[in-house]
Chain A
Amino acid sequence: QSVLTQPPSASGTPGQRVTISCSGSSSDIGSNTVNWYQQLPGTAPKLLIYSNNQRPSGVPDRFSGSKSGTSASLAISGLQSEDEADYYCAAWEDSLNAHVFGTGTKVTVL
C-alpha cells in the first residue's frame, strides 16, 4: 500500500526543469528522511537521492531533492532524454513501523 502521494505524470522538453512532489504525513515524511528512486523501463529501481537531498556517487547534480514539513520534492534540471523513467519517493513510516513508497511519477521527455 502506498501512503505517499505523487502526481502520476510529469513532462518537459530537453533542457527544461521538472519538479515532482511527494506528499506524506507527520508519521512518515514529517518525522523521517526521504529517498528517491529512478526506475528505467525494464530495470530495477536505482537510488537517486537519500537523506532528503544527498546524491550517491555517480548521480548527476541535475538531480536534487528537498523536504519541507510533510512534503518532499525531486527536481530534474536540464532534462535529458535518458531521464525518461518512473520516479518513486520513499520514507520510513513510524505508525506502521514499515517502509513506504510513493505512488510513482512517470516522467516523459517531449
Chain B
Amino acid sequence: QVQLQESGPGLVKPSQTLSLTCTVSGGSISSGTYYWSWIRQPAGKGLEWIGRIYTSGSTNYNPSLKSRVTISVDTSKNQFSLKLSSVTAADTAVYYCARATYYYDSSGWVHWFDPWGQGTLVTVSS
C-alpha cells in the first residue's frame, strides 16, 4: 500500500524559498501512470492545487502560482519536491502531497488524488 510523507522546514522567512519533499513508500514512484502532486490549505480555508509532475519530468502548475513554483522528482530516492519562491504570509498553509491518477476517456479527463500524505504546516513569518 503506497504511503506518502511530507517533510521540510515548518518555518520560512518572508521573501525566502519554501522547500518540501514528499517521500513515497510501499511502491515505486516510477510504476504506473501516475502524476505526483502538491496541494495546500490555509487554516480554515479550502484546498488549492499547486501543481504536479510525471516521472518523465513533465510538469503542470496552477497559473496563479506558476511564476514561483518548481516541482521536481528524484526517482532514485522515490521522492518528489516542491519549491515556492518569494513567499509571503499568504503562503502559510498545510501542504499536502498526493498521488494523482490521470487519464482521458469518453467522460473527459479523469483525475483524482489518492492517497494523500498527512500534511505539513508551513508558517511564513520573520
Chain A residues lying within 8 Å of B62, measured Cβ to Cβ, are 96, 98
Chain B's interface: helix, strand, loop or mixed, by majority?
strand
A-B pairs with beta carbons under 8 A, tally = 80
Q: Report whether B110 and A33 are in contact in the complex, using a CB–CB cutoff of 8 Å.
A: yes
Q: Which of A45, A50, A51 contacts B47 (CB 8 A)?
A: A45
Q: In the complex, A31→B47 CA distance in Å?
A: 21
Q: How large is the interface on B (under 10, 10 to 19, 20 to 34, 35 or more residues)?
A: 20 to 34
Q: Report whether A52 and B111 are in contact in the complex, using a CB–CB cutoff of 8 Å.
A: no
Q: Report whether B119 and A32 are in contact in the complex, using a CB–CB cutoff of 8 Å.
A: no
* Contact status of A31 and B108, CB under 8 A, knowing A47-B114, A100-B49: yes
Name B's A-contacting residues (CB within 8 A): 37, 46-49, 52, 60-64, 96, 100-102, 107-119
Name A's B-contacting residues (CB within 8 A): 1-2, 31-33, 35, 37, 43-47, 50-52, 56, 88, 90-92, 94, 96-104
